[in-house]
Amino acid sequence: MNLAIAHHDSAALARRCDVAGVRTARGEADYEDGAILPLGPWQPLTAHHTQQLQPTALTCDTTLVELVRLPDGPAPVSLDALADPLGDPDAVHLGRAASTAKALTTTPNYRDGRRIGLHVDNWDKLAYHAKHLGRRRLCINLGPGTRYILLGDIDIQAICRTVHPNPENRYPHTDDLRAYVAAGHRLNVYRLRLEPGEGYIAPTELLPHDGSTEDQPEPSTAAFWLGHWPRGVLPTVA
C-alpha cells in the first residue's frame, strides 16, 4: 500500500508536485538527531512518477491521498463545523498549527521545540496489522502563505516489515522509519503545493509525512481534522 494520490490530470499534478530523496539529521540545532528530512535538490515529476502515484482498483479509501479545496458556497459558521457535512459524524477538529516561513519541515517536538522531520501519526493507537485502517487527516491551508505537504512513498507497514523480522505484534512508530533510512533503504519524498484554501485528505497514520514552507516568503496556518471519510467528499485540485 504505497503512496497513491487521486488525480484526474497528470499534468496538473506534476505542476504542483516534485520529488527528492531523504537524509538523516545529525547535530542540527533545529532538529532531533535521527530526524528524516528531504534531501534536495527537488526534481520535477516524470511520467513514470505520475504512473506510480496513480491509485489502482485495490487502493482503499483509507489509504488514499486526495488534494482538495474548500467547496463553493457560504463559508461554514466556524472551522469546527467545516467537516460536519463530509460524512463522518464523529470527525474531530484537532485545531490549528501556525508555521513560520521558509521551514524545511514544520512539526515540532513540543517538549523542546526541535522539529521531528518526517513522521507517522498515532492518534488511533493502531497495531501493525490495522495501521492502514486509521482515520485520515483533513488539512486546509488558511494562509496567508503557500505551504506543502511532504509524503513518503513507502508506508509504515512495509517499513516495519523491513526493519523487524516479526512485525505482527508491533505498533509502527516514527522510530521504525528512522531505522529504515539509517539502514540505507530507499525512500522518496513527494512535495505537494497547497495554496490558501487548498488542502489534503491523507492517511497520516500510515504514510511518513510532514508540512513544509520551504522557499515560501510568508508564514501560513493549517487547520486539521480526523475522520473516516469516503473519497470524493471535497472538490479536487488535480
235 is a domain residue:
no
Whether 238 maps to a domain, the answer reads: no
Q: What is the pLDDT of residue 77?
A: 74
Residue 73 covered by a domain? yes
Alpha carbon distance 236, 68 (integer Å): 4
Count of domains forming the chain:
1
Which pLDDT value is given to residue 76? 74
Per DSSP, 201 falls in state E
User: Is 236 contained in some domain?
Assistant: no
- Cα 63 to Cα 157: distance, rounded to the nearest angstrom: 12
Q: Residue 206 is part of which domain span?
A: 5-227
Q: Is 186 contained in some domain?
A: yes
Q: What is the pTM of this model?
A: 0.96
Q: Is residue 158 part of a domain?
A: yes
Does any domain span residue 232? no
Q: Tens-of-pLDDT digits for all 238 residues of the chain?
A: 689 999 999 999 999 999 999 999 999 999 999 999 999 899 999 999 999 999 999 999 999 999 999 888 776 777 888 899 999 999 999 999 999 999 999 999 988 999 999 999 999 999 999 999 999 999 999 999 999 999 999 999 999 999 999 999 999 999 999 999 999 999 999 999 999 999 999 999 999 999 999 999 999 999 999 999 999 999 999 9
Pairing mode of beta strands 5-6, 65-69? parallel
In a domain, 23, yes or no: yes
Give yes or no for a contact between 145 and 217, defined as CB atoms under 8 angstroms apart: yes
**Which residues is 152 bridged to in the sheet?**
189
Nearest CA-CA partner of 205 in 130, 139, 140, 148: 130
Pick from 193, 204, 229: nearest CA to 60: 229
Q: Provide φ and ψ at 17, rounded to 5°.
A: -140, 140
Integer CA distances (angstroms), 227 to 46, 93, 134, 214, 235, in order: 32, 9, 9, 28, 17
Q: Residue 159: which H helix or E strand, with range?
A: helix 156-163
